[in-house]
Each structure stands twice: as structure tokens, then as C-alpha cells.
A and B are shown apart, each in its own frame.
Chain A
Amino acid sequence: LAKTTQPISMDSYEGQEVNITCSHNNIATNDYITWYQQFPSQGPRFIIQGYKTKVTNEVASLFIPADRKSSTLSLPRVSLSDTAVYYCLVGVDGSSNTGKLIFGQGTTLQVKP
């Protein structure tokens, strides 16, 4: 599976837009890019998934450049409740076709008042 690199932590203030960039230089042609969010004492929660260009849903936007070697999760106007760990995942398990997720350390986002 493609390895991902993302910042360990980020700070922001309420009302600001937050962009978290993930590098995945070895992404394969058939790999999707998926972001999960995890609050303390909860399991991860799917946020958004994309393959190329831009994807937007009610929670976030995902920007993927043409070379797909990176992606940026954009959270508009964050609030204190967006404080969480954000994981960038790339690909599915192509060897065994199980769909198992491979998580890195994630980015801990701290939103301050």
C-alpha cells in the first residue's frame, strides 16, 4: 500500500479554514484517497474519498492535483468540535483484495477558541 506522510499536529482557531495536506508519492493508478476522522474514545469515522480533482460533501472538501502525489483535506470554518485526529489513507489492499485499511499516525488537529 502507498505510504502516506502528513503533519503530526496542527493548531487552528474557531472559524478558520483548515487545510491538511497528505503526501503519497507512490500512489498507484487504481488507488483511491480516503480521509477518516477520530475523536477521543471513538472509532474512526469516514469523512471523504476521492480519486482525482475535487470532491466536496457536507463536511469537507478534498483536493487532488493532477499527479495525485498529494491531497489536501479542507475543513471550512472549523469549530471546537472539529478537534480530532485526521487520517489520510491511500489505496486498498491490492494483494489480498480485502479492503483492510492501513492507518498512519494521523494529524492531530487542535481547534482553539
Chain B
Amino acid sequence: GAGVSQTPSNKVTEKGKYVELRCDPISGHTALYWYRQSLGQGPEFLIYFQGTGAADDSGLPNDRFFAVRPEGSVSTLKIQRTERGDSAVYLCASRRDAANTDTQYFGPGTRLTVL
């Protein structure tokens, strides 16, 4: 079946611009996560959705970052006034249900480059 998909695969923007990154989770998965991965590092947690609500946004670095999941399926990560330090691969993962030990399935990521 279809896995987690993310669009765009690459995004190049200029400093100060606004960007939106989209995640389509596996159908029926209620839990959705966003992570950010810098070069040479492991992924870093940003935000977690259970259904439509953000259950944990403690990983968002500042108020320029925001994410939504209005219908409990597709999620959009929004970054305002982008900075060069925001350049990274943004990964989305989904999980079937609320069992914390259940497997998370990752998408291929969106590579964001801020010039």
C-alpha cells in the first residue's frame, strides 16, 4: 500500500519568505509526527498530532513554526520569515494508533534550503 508521502521533495526559498510543507500520512493512521534533520544528525522531534489536535508541540523551535492537521489526515508544516538556520530535511511520520511502541512510518522528507 501507499506509504507516507511528502511534498515538495525539495524547496529552495529566500530568507524571510514563508513556506509550507505537506505530509500525507498512511491512510487510517491517527498519529502524525514532524521531525527535522540537519546534516550528519539524527532526526529531531518537532510536533505530534493525535487526530486533529497537536498533542505535543514542545519541539517547535520558535513561534515562526506552526503545523496543522485540520481533518486528521494531511498535515502542513508552516514556517514564517524563514532563516538560513531553518535549512534541513523535514520528515513526517505516521503511526497507526495510540500505542506508543507501535512502528512509526517515515516519509522521504522535504529538503528545505533557505538562501
Partners in one complex: yes
A interface residue numbers (CB < 8 A to B): 32, 34, 41-46, 49, 85, 87, 92-93, 96-106
- Whether B45 contacts A102 by the Cβ 8 Å rule is yes
Inside 8 A of B71's CB, which chain A residues have their CB? Answer: none
Q: How far is the CB of B24 from chain A (nearest CB, A)?
A: 13
- Whether A105 contacts B91 by the Cβ 8 Å rule is no
Residue-by-residue, is B19-46 near A (CB-CB < 8 Å gives 1, otherwise 0)?
A: 0000000000001010100001111110
- Whether B100 contacts A97 by the Cβ 8 Å rule is yes
Inside 8 A of B43's CB, which chain A residues have their CB? Answer: 44, 101, 103
Within 8 A of A (CB), among B47-67: 48, 50, 55-56, 58-59
Q: How many residue pairs bridge A and B at CB < 8 Å?
A: 69
Within 8 A of A (CB), among B67-105: 91-93, 95, 98-105
Inside 8 A of B99's CB, which chain A residues have their CB? Answer: 99
- Whether A43 contacts B93 by the Cβ 8 Å rule is yes
Given known A-B contacts A32-B101, A43-B4, A87-B42, A100 and B108 have beta carbons under 8 A apart: no
- Whether B48 contacts A106 by the Cβ 8 Å rule is no
- Whether B106 contacts A44 by the Cβ 8 Å rule is yes
